[in-house]
């Protein structure tokens, strides 16, 4: 292993600024003469806007301007676009309503944007916002996804009958129906995947800065993908050509998907800055984030598994209602379709699968990707169903899984739901996890808990996910309206240091360190002489950003491709210096050597020569040493693993205490084990949050009850135990690094492991199901009802 | 209407004229450009704004600037001495106790106060103390490791 190269637990290069308070998050940035924007948001879930009187607000102290949706519409501002089109079963395209950054005539969720006040100070903007007088005509609203589909439910969009955006399917219905008719056992489950809110610790913020002298715009924004924002906002919303629009995503404090999307506030501040000729800054208050950041999950599903007498999975059918919210968020339609149902094979060789998904509008905040984006929903459903099947058939949950695993010799494996898995070894992950938790010893531990009056349970989940999104032509065929490649530039500087420009974006993932590790491994340059630059469209050629655990698999591969070009050119330069053939040059540990000799030249000398080309093949080779590569992945990547949770329940209070949590994950090659472990810890905590603590609740009147951190229960330091994490590497077969991605897996396998453990603990009392989250109240109620 | 607030900030005497509604965190971030202290919520849950006032950790979003008149305030920017990292800062880097870095200043300031009061805290004590410091990235485990290591380093120095 090269020192600080691939596989090393290198301490992060970016940490210094964060531990000393020198980070530059968007709200830390101030532009000269900036104005502060306060957004006026609807307090009602559904209403017609009869009139908006901005006169009192406009006259308030410190106020420079007040704008409404009509002002933006009059200026030709377009709709926030949706980046993924889904077709229904009958081939018709999804219902695609417009999405004005400031609503003109009708608000459709609590928090919907109505107007904006620009003032000299935050206080003045807040005070003036309260003076904006909106006359609403209250309309009936529906927030529950099941209720929204029923006849007579309030309609979110006139053009979407029964609030259906799309009625989509995947798989082979006939083959699946046949499998069911021949099956000895059918196990079914009805479940809800609870609505969640990402709540990254940094609230969203945006600064629009229009330069009148050059007719150019700069947008600072808390985004996971600045180039995507430039494309969507520039092309579809504000009509600004790319060369006149710079988007900068500086330090971003967490995203988890919620900072992928092009939000109204980005367009509002950019547009408003030109209108008033001054920079405009907006920062969300946390309770404002609750009603404006995209929410996650929110599925209601019915699923059935058909099994043979011996427990072979014969067929799976799933019917899901997916809440899209009131508007189509940037990737909203893709999450409950191609990012969800294509994972319903799981780690199993189920031969026939059919799934149908109805994307449904409701009067709630738009729903889109949140850590895992569709894969947690699939794993939760599958692993709950498998556990239920084990119970019903009287088989051990381990045995039922083993029996149905795709064998490690069977790859590449074509699933019945579009995806072809490249490689995996699910049994080793299961065995590793069972060993880590001392599965055979559980019975004794359960007895000890019982002696203490506690119910002990153990729950397993074996998950798989698809990440490293995605091959562009495949994605395009499935409805994506963009490519999903990545770009990387390696700029070797004259004195041998290296600047890496990447289209990936780090908002906690440590790319400034891990991408530098790739470079140090390839070129032998000291890691401290490598700088990774991200987040600025003015500096980086292009990028699709960071989400879907794609940075290493796609962004890292773009860097590897650029490094290959650098190495090729370096060999040619070295060949000239050493008077040899380029084919005979070996590049190792920062030295370029003529094979079989001790004649060599250091990479640093090659770099200097490239920029001071006096002894140089100028007639064959351009000076300089900088290469760019665009990498389009060949396939998704398929991390997989086994999570096991052991917990104790106090039957008197319903309180759950997690005892142990083990994770054995296969992420392919691990570049920085410290960072991977950190990603798993964070993911597990979010998955446990979904299982036990978090829920986003709307009341029957459409009001968001969980509208602040007082009511939305984020896991705290004492909410989770220490985790035990191990990795098993089966190298991805279609990228040279062999990497699969690790950012989301923790949030995918953990939720079902926890709930399977809860059901296990309560099963002796006759409880066979519990809803998400399994709060103490729910657990206690379940116990009461079972004993009644 | 404005009020003059005078205090010691990271060892330096400073003062500002502020609207009496101004929160201490706003004074720090906007008047004195000490943007290392962050605002993460509006209900005093998250702890991203934790600083030291007269030697004790305080959520600066829950104090008015005027309440800090005459106080000795230390923010994350004032923790390192003469360019050397405070042992707790170094421990956070060594043990990967941060990912996005947004909760980190408040987390470090809070941890330093814990160790000042309890020089050898165990895991449970650390997790309980940090209940008021939310992190969405790390899952807390490496933060606990970092605090323990930071405590040990603080004991030794």
User: pLDDT per residue over B121-151, tens digit each?
Assistant: 999 999 999 999 999 999 999 999 999 999 9
pLDDT at A2: 85
**Does the structure show a pLDDT above 90 at B157?**
no
Secondary structure E strands in A591-694: 591-594, 600-602, 626-631, 640-649, 656-666
In terms of CATH, what superfamily is A32-139+217-254+259-277? Aldehyde oxidase/xanthine dehydrogenase, a/b hammerhead (3.90.1170.50)
User: pLDDT per residue over A593-626, tens digit each?
Assistant: 999 999 999 999 999 999 999 999 999 999 999 9
pLDDT at B82: 82
User: pLDDT per residue over B114-125, tens digit each?
Assistant: 999 999 999 999
**Alpha-carbon gap, residue A258 to A366, rounded angstroms:** 11
| Residues recorded for chain B | 157
> Phi/psi at A634 (nearest 5 deg)?
-80, -25
* Residues in chain B within 8 Å Cβ distance of A16: 93
Question: Does residue A239 contact residue A180 with C-beta atoms inside 8 Å?
Answer: no
For residue B100, what is the nearest residue in chain A, using CA coordinates?
A508
User: pLDDT per residue over A672-729, tens digit each?
Assistant: 999 999 999 999 999 999 999 999 999 989 999 999 999 999 999 999 999 999 999 9
Going by the DSSP 8-state scheme, the letter that residue A771 receives in this structure is P
Q: How many CB atoms lie within 10 A of CB A686?
A: 30
**Alpha-carbon gap, residue A683 to A331, rounded angstroms:** 21
Order across the sheet with A656-666: list the strands.
A455-464, A640-649, A656-666, A723-727
* Residues in chain B within 8 Å Cβ distance of A534: none
**Alpha-carbon gap, residue A104 to A51, rounded angstroms:** 10
Architecture of domain A485-631: 2-Layer Sandwich (3.30)
pLDDT at B137: 98
Cβ partners under 8 Å of residue A310, min gap 6: A403
Q: Binning pLDDT at 50, 70 and 90, where does residue B1 land?
A: confident
**Alpha-carbon gap, residue B151 to A266, rounded angstroms:** 43
Query: What is the dihedral angle through the alpha carbons of A575, A581, A584, A588, rounded to the nearest 10 degrees?
Result: 10
- For A131-195, the DSSP string reads T-EEEEEE------HHHHTSTTPPPSSTTSGGGEEEEEEEE-HHHHHHHHHT-SEEEEEEEEE--
* Residues in chain A within 8 Å Cβ distance of B133: 717
Domains and CATH numbers, chain B: 3-78 (3.10.20.30), 87-156 (1.10.150.120)
pLDDT at A209: 98
Bridge partners (DSSP) listed for residue A48? A106, A137
CATH topology match: A295-469+635-787 vs A485-631: yes
Question: Does residue A492 contact residue A626 with C-beta atoms inside 8 Å?
Answer: yes
Query: What is the dihedral angle through the alpha carbons of A634, A635, A636, A641, rounded to the nearest 10 degrees?
Result: -110
**Alpha-carbon gap, residue A179 to A316, rounded angstroms:** 9
* Residues in chain A within 8 Å Cβ distance of B135: 201, 717
* Residues in chain A within 8 Å Cβ distance of B131: 716-718
| Cα separation values, A448 from A396, A451, A756, B46, Å | 22, 5, 20, 37
**Alpha-carbon gap, residue A304 to A563, rounded angstroms:** 49
pLDDT at A674: 98
Q: Strands A313-325 and A299-307: what pairing?
A: antiparallel
Cβ partners under 8 Å of residue A474, min gap 6: none
| Cα separation values, A67 from A42, A234, A426, Å | 15, 20, 56
> Phi/psi at A368 (nearest 5 deg)?
-155, -160
- The reply to whether residue A28 touches residue B134, judged by beta carbons under 8 angstroms, is no
Domain limits of chain A?
32-139+217-254+259-277, 295-469+635-787, 485-631
Question: Chain A: nearest CA to B108, how far in angstroms?
Answer: 8
pLDDT at A739: 96
- The reply to whether residue B41 touches residue A709, judged by beta carbons under 8 angstroms, is yes
Cβ partners under 8 Å of residue A314, min gap 6: A179, A180, A182, A183, A306, A307, A308, A350, A351, A352
- For A294-328, the DSSP string reads -EE--EEEEEEEEE-TT--EEEEEEEEEEEEESS-
| Cα separation values, A488 from A14, A88, A485, A532, A575, Å | 19, 37, 10, 10, 26
User: pLDDT per residue over B68-89, tens digit each?
Assistant: 999 999 999 999 978 899 999 9
pLDDT at B81: 78
Token readout for A275 is 């209108």
Q: Which residue do the tokens 């794609």 mark?
A: A550
Going by the DSSP 8-state scheme, the letter that residue A405 receives in this structure is B
The stretches of A612-663 forming alpha helices (DSSP H) are none
The stretches of A330-425 forming alpha helices (DSSP H) are 375-393, 397-404
* Residues in chain A within 8 Å Cβ distance of B19: 123
Cβ partners under 8 Å of residue A213, min gap 6: none
Nearest Cα to A165, choosing from A375, A362, A374, A335?
A: A362
The per-residue pLDDT of chain A, averaged, comes to 97
**Alpha-carbon gap, residue A381 to A189, rounded angstroms:** 8
Nearest Cα to A338, choosing from A418, A280, A412?
A: A418
Token readout for A135 is 């006359």
- State the DSSP H helix or E strand holding residue B128, giving kind and residue range, or none if neither: helix B123-129
**Alpha-carbon gap, residue B32 to B78, rounded angstroms:** 13
End-to-end CA distance of chain A: 63
Q: Is A45 exposed, middle or buried (0-12, 13-18, 19+ CB in 10 A)?
A: buried
Q: How many CB atoms lie within 10 A of CB B56?
A: 10
Q: How far is CA A333 from the centre of its chain?
A: 14
**Most A CBs within 10 Å, among B29, B59, B128, B136, to test the A interface:** B136
In the A/B pair of chains, how many CB contacts fall below 8 A? 180
Q: Is A33 exposed, middle or buried (0-12, 13-18, 19+ CB in 10 A)?
A: exposed
Q: Strands A656-666 and A723-727: what pairing?
A: parallel
Of B80, B134, B144, the CB nearest to A20: B80
Of B41, B76, B99, the CB nearest to A21: B76
The per-residue pLDDT of chain B, averaged, comes to 97
**Alpha-carbon gap, residue A765 to A763, rounded angstroms:** 5
**Alpha-carbon gap, residue A446 to A458, rounded angstroms:** 9
Q: Is A440 exposed, middle or buried (0-12, 13-18, 19+ CB in 10 A)?
A: exposed
Q: Is A212 exposed, middle or buried (0-12, 13-18, 19+ CB in 10 A)?
A: exposed
- The reply to whether residue B77 touches residue A285, judged by beta carbons under 8 angstroms, is no
DSSP H helix total and E strand total for chain B: 5, 5
Bridge partners (DSSP) listed for residue A216? A211
Q: Is A768 exposed, middle or buried (0-12, 13-18, 19+ CB in 10 A)?
A: middle
User: pLDDT per residue over A216-239, tens digit each?
Assistant: 999 999 999 999 999 999 999 999
Residue A272 three-state SS: helix
- The reply to whether residue B140 touches residue A710, judged by beta carbons under 8 angstroms, is no
Nearest Cα to A379, choosing from A758, A743, A748?
A: A748
Cis ω for the linkage preceding A412 (within 30 of 0): yes
Nearest Cα to A544, choosing from A532, A555, A560?
A: A555
Question: Chain B: nearest CA to A52, how far in angstroms?
Answer: 28
Q: Give the CA radius of gyration of chain A.
A: 27
Percent composition of chain A: helix, strand, coil (DSSP 3-state, to 5)? 30, 25, 45
Task: Give the domain A295-469+635-787 fold.
Answer: Aldehyde Oxidoreductase; domain 4 (3.30.365)
Question: Does residue A132 contact residue A57 with C-beta atoms inside 8 Å?
Answer: yes
- The reply to whether residue A201 touches residue B102, judged by beta carbons under 8 angstroms, is yes
Q: Strands A313-325 and A352-361: what pairing?
A: parallel
- The reply to whether residue B103 touches residue A201, judged by beta carbons under 8 angstroms, is yes
Nearest Cα to A660, choosing from A457, A479, A489, A473?
A: A457
Flag residues of chain A having pLDDT under 50: none
Of B41, B100, B133, the CB nearest to A254: B100
Angle at alpha carbon of residue A178, lines to A177 and A183, rounded to 5°: 100
């Amino acid at each position: 292993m090269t020192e600080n190269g691939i596989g090393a637990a290198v301490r992060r290069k970016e940490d210094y600024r964060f531990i000393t308070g020198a980070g530059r998050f968007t709200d830390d940035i101030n532009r000269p003469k900036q104005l502060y924007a306060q957004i006026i948001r609807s307090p009602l879930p559904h209403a017609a806007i009869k009139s908006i009187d901005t006169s009192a607000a406009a006259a308030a102290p410190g106020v420079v301007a007040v704008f409404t949706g009509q002002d933006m519409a009059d200026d030709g501002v377009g709709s926030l676009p949706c980046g993924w089109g889904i077709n229904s079963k009958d081939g018709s395209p999804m219902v695609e309503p417009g999405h004005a950054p400031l609503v003109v005539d009708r608000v459709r969720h609590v928090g919907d944007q109505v107007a904006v006040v620009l003032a000299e100070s935050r206080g003045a903007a807040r005070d003036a916002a309260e003076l904006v007088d909106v006359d609403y005509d209250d309309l009936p609203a529906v927030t529950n996804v099941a209720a929204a589909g029923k006849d007579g439910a309030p309609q979110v969009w006139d053009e979407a009958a029964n609030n259906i955006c799309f009625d989509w399917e995947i798989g082979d219905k006939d083959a699946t129906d046949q499998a069911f008719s021949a099956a000895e056992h059918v196990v079914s489950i009805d479940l809800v995947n609870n609505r969640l809110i990402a709540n990254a610790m940094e609230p969203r913020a945006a600064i629009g800065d229009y330069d009148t002298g050059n007719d150019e715009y700069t947008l600072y924004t808390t985004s996971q993908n600045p180039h995507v924002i430039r494309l969507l906002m520039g092309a579809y919303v504000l009509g600004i050509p790319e060369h006149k629009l710079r988007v900068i995503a500086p330090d971003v404090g967490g995203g988890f998907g919620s900072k992928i999307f092009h939000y109204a506030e980005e367009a509002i501040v950019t547009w408003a800055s030109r209108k008033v000729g001054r920079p405009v800054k907006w920062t969300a208050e946390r309770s404002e984030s609750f009603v404006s950041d995209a929410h996650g999950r929110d599925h209601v599903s019915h699923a059935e598994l058909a099994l043979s007498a011996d427990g072979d999975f014969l067929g799976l059918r799933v019917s899901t209602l997916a809440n899209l919210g009131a508007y189509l968020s940037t990737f909203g339609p893709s999450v409950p379709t191609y990012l969800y149902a294509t994972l319903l094979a799981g780690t199993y060789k189920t031969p026939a699968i059919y799934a149908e998904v109805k994307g449904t509008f409701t009067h709630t905040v738009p729903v889109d990707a949140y850590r895992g984006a569709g894969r947690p929903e699939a794993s939760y459903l599958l692993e709950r169903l498998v556990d239920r099947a084990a119970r019903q058939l009287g088989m051990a949950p381990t045995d039922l899984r083993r029996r149905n695993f795709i064998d490690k010799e069977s790859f590449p494996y074509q699933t019945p739901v579009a995806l072809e898995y490249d490689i995996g070894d699910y049994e080793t992950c299961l065995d590793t996890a069972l060993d880590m938790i001392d599965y055979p010893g559980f019975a004794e531990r359960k007895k000890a808990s019982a002696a203490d009056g506690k119910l002990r349970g153990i729950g397993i989940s074996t998950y798989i996910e698809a990440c490293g999104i995605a091959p562009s032509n495949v994605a395009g065929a499935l409805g994506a309206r963009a490519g999903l490649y990545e770009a990387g530039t390696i700029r070797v500087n004259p004195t041998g240091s290296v600047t890496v420009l990447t289209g990936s974006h780090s908002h906690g993932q440590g790319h400034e360190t891990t991408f530098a590790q790739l470079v140090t491994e390839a070129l032998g340059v000291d890691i401290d002489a490598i700088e990774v630059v991200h987040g600025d469209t003015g500096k980086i050629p292009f990028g699709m950003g960071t989400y879907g655990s794609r940075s290493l698999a796609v962004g890292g591969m773009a860097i590897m491709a650029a490094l290959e070009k650098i190495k090729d050119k370096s060999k040619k330069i070295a060949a000239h210096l050493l008077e040899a053939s380029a084919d005979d040059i070996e590049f190792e540990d920062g030295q370029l050597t003529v094979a079989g000799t001790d004649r060599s030249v250091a990479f640093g000398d090659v770099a200097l020569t490239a920029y001071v080309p006096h002894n140089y093949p100028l007639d064959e080779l351009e000076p300089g040493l900088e290469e760019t590569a665009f990498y389009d992945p060949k396939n998704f990547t398929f991390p997989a693993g086994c999570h096991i949770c052991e917990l104790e329940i106090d039957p008197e209070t319903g309180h759950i205490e997690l005892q142990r949590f083990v994770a054995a994950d296969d992420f392919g090659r691990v570049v920085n084990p410290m960072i991977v472990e950190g990603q798993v810890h964070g993911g597990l905590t979010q998955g446990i949050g979904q299982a036990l603590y978090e829920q986003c609740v709307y009341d029957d009147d459409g009001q968001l009850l969980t509208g602040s951190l007082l009511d939305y229960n984020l896991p705290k330091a004492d909410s989770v135990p220490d985790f035990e994490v191990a990795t098993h590497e089966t190298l991805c077969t279609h990228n040279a690094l062999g990497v699969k991605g690790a950012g989301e897996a923790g949030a995918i396998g953990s939720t079902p492991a926890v709930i399977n453990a809860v059901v296990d603990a309560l099963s002796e009392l006759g409880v066979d199901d519990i809803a998400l989250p399994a709060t103490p109240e729910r657990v206690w109620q379940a116990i009461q009802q079972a004993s009644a | 209407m404005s009020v003059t607030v005078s205090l010691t900030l990271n060892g330096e005497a400073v003062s500002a004229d502020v609207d009496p509604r101004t929160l201490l965190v706003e004074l720090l971030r906007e008047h004195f450009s000490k943007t290392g202290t962050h605002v993460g919520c509006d209900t005093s849950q998250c702890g991203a704004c934790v600083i030291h006032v007269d030697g004790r950790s305080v959520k600066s979003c829950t104090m008015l600037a005027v309440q800090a008149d005459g106080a000795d305030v230390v923010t994350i920017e004032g923790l390192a001495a003469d360019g050397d990292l405070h042992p707790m800062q170094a421990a956070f880097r060594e043990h990967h106790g941060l990912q996005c870095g947004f909760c980190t200043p408040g987390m470090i300031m809070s941890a330093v106060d814990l160790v000042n009061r309890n020089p050898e805290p165990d895991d449970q004590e650390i997790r309980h103390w940090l209940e008021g410091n939310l992190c969405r990235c790390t899952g807390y485990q490496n933060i606990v490791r970092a605090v323990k290591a930071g405590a040990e380093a603080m004991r030794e120095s």
